[in-house]
Amino acid sequence: MANPHELEIPDYTSIEYTEACAMFTADRKSDAEAALILANVWHFNNALACQLWDRQQEALNEARLVESTHLIKLKEQEKDTRDEEGELARHKESKKYKNKYVPISNTPLSDALIFTPCHYADPKIHSGN
């Protein structure tokens, strides 16, 4: 259905509407009066069509709004589900590989030399020889 707000009133004095005007001229109305009556009928019908069109457009807009909010909710639920699954996978992996996820301290490295004796030299150092 075309937008009735954009329709223009037809010219009821033209030849294509002579049959419609003939119905009113038979009741002793002039052609101008018949064209005016037809124009009034057209305005009345167009006003009803405009109201119907407006209601339909409001219903369509409301349906689009409901659909878009539903889609937004679905996307949020999917995102939450993905986040929960990712968190669960990270938790399982951190349980499996505990040392992989040990936090590293943010302290600077020491400049002091570290002396660690060899495995076989340690007993000799402690014995005093």
Q: Note the pTM of the prediction, 2 decimals.
A: 0.57
d(CA 31, CA 39) in angstroms, rounded, equals 12
Q: Is the pLDDT of residue 117 over 90?
A: no
The phi and psi torsions of 102 (rounded to 5 degrees) equal -75, 130
Largest CA distance in the chain: 143
pLDDT in the model for residue 113: 67
- Tell me the domain boundaries of the chain: 7-98
Quickly state the pLDDT bin for 78 (edges 50, 70, 90).
very high
Handedness of CA 98, 101, 104, 105 (dihedral sign): negative
Determine what percent of the chain is predicted with pLDDT higher than 90: 43
Cα distances (Å, whole numbers) of residue 84 to 5, 71, 129: 51, 20, 62
